[in-house]
Amino acid sequence: MRAWVLDESPGRYRFGTVEPPPPANGEVSVRLVASALNHMDLWLTRGLPKPVTPHVPGADGAGVVTAVGEGVEGVAVGDEVVVNPAVSCRRCATCLAGESPLCPSFGILGEHRWGTHAEEVLVPAANVVPRPAALDWPEAAAYGLCFLTAWRMLRRARLRAGEVLLVVGVGGGVSSAGLVLGRAMGAQVFVTSRDEAKRQRALALGAAGAFDSGGEFAVAADVVFENVGAATWASSLRALAPGGRLVTCGGTAGSKVEISLPRLFFKQHEILGSTMGSYAEFEQVTKVVAGGVPVVVDEVVDGLHRLPEALVRLESGQQLGKIVLRH
């Protein structure tokens, strides 16, 4: 099959040919109609992290099942599906307790195994769900990783209807998912961005207010939703209301931060880490988007072969929402 391949990391992707094996026990093969970009696609080329090579990138995708392995039930050739990028053993005590992101064998499609920037992808049958009828192919390909991550973050932060949510750095896919999911959960959502056009787009998506990421955030937030890191950390903590929870899934602008302990304990703040999500959370968030929560797609690029220019757009940081390749 045709695929984007990384022969060494750090390195550059080449558009080449690789031969995936037929589906093993419990696996299915999916012919991808669309795949979505994530920052992981860039980090892999810098050796952060270093995948086993040769490697095929791409965490997100949607397509049609072309083959099923032994023992697969409930998925058939011809099914239109969305791929869940969070893969775990589904058998250990952690997985059975519904906490598969903590499974010792947890892995992400396109990082720990071959991904979706290819004609076909091989995944456990448990990692596909029927494509919601309300979503077109680019939307179906776009929501997986970001909406799953944002959904678990909001659950871990125990966001409730009526609370104030502050989404810091609203341009990225996880953050824009945080905005629309927070709105759907009944929160009043404020956002930050360095970019005036993105602040305006966020307001159009229902944000109650928008701040410049470089200044102070004039809000008392019950939940602060972070993945920027060092560049916004101090302002994010100052924006937390007493008893507030800050949840983070990344540090794209610096990973070393400071915490003032008196502020932490006097105000009884909580700082929570979160990553990806469980199988149950993927099913939940699929129902949420099937119910009409908008999947924000910034741009659809036609042609699997056009990954490099889509990556340039991703790296420029000009997007609000997801960049999708239609294969």
Distance CA 304, CA 301 (A): 8
CB within 8 A of 155, min separation 6: which ones?
A: 281
Please report, to the nearest 10 degrees, the dihedral formed by the alpha carbons of residues 205, 206, 211, 213 taken in order.
-40
Nearest approach, Cβ of residue 288 and Zn ion (Å): 25
Question: What residues from 158 to 217 belong to the interface with Zn ion (CB under 5 A)?
Answer: none
92 binds Zn ion (CB under 5 A): yes
Residue that has been written with the tokens 């953050």 in this structure? 175
Task: Answer yes or no whether residue 87 interacts with Zn ion by CB under 5 A.
Answer: no
Q: Which is nearer to Zn ion, 92 or 208 (CB)?
A: 92
Task: Give the count of beta carbons closer than 10 Å to the beta carbon of residue 201.
Answer: 22
Q: How far is the CB of 100 from Zn ion (least distance, A)?
A: 6
Which CB atom, from 35 or from 278, has the smaller least distance to Zn ion?
278
- The smaller minimum CB distance to Zn ion, of residues 99 and 195, is found at 99
Q: Which stretch binds Zn ion (CB under 5 A): 55-63, 87-95, 128-136, 272-280?
A: 87-95
38 neighbors 60 (Cβ within 8 angstroms) = yes
- State which residue, 64 or 92, has the beta carbon closest to Zn ion: 92
| Site of tokens 């992400």 | 108
Q: Name which of residues 272 to 291 contact Zn ion (CB under 5 A).
A: none
Q: How far is the CB of 286 from Zn ion (least distance, A)?
A: 21
Residue from the set 9, 88, 127, 319 that interacts with Zn ion by CB under 5 A? 88
CA distance linking residue 311 with residue 304, whole number of Å = 12
Least distance (Å) from Zn ion to the CB of residue 101? 10
Taking the least distance from each CB to Zn ion, the nearer of 104 and 292 is 104
How many residues touch Zn ion under the rule CB under 5 A: the total is: 5
Closest distance of CB 125 from Zn ion, Å: 16
Cis geometry, peptide bond prior to residue 10 (ω within 30 degrees of 0) = yes
For position 95 contacting Zn ion by CB under 5 A, the verdict is: yes
Give yes or no for residue 103 binding Zn ion (CB under 5 A). yes
Query: How are strands ordered across the β-sheet holding 221-226?
Result: 209-212, 188-193, 164-167, 221-226, 240-248, 270-273
Of 85-93, 212-220, 222-230, 305-313: span binding Zn ion (CB under 5 A): 85-93
* Residue with the shortest CB distance to Zn ion: 103
Query: Is the Cβ–Cβ distance between 192 and 250 less than 8 Å?
Result: no
Asked if residue 89 binds Zn ion (CB under 5 A), the reply is yes
| Residue 62 backbone dihedrals phi, psi, to 5 degrees | -145, 150
* Minimum CB–partner distance for residue 98 and Zn ion (Å): 11
- Tracing tokens 């000009």 back to the chain, one arrives at 318
Angle between helices 144-156 and 279-290 (to 10 degrees): 110
| Preceding peptide of 101 cis, ω within 30° | no
What is the nearest approach in angstroms of Zn ion to the Cβ of residue 102?
8
> Given the rule CB under 5 A, which residues bind Zn ion?
88-89, 92, 95, 103
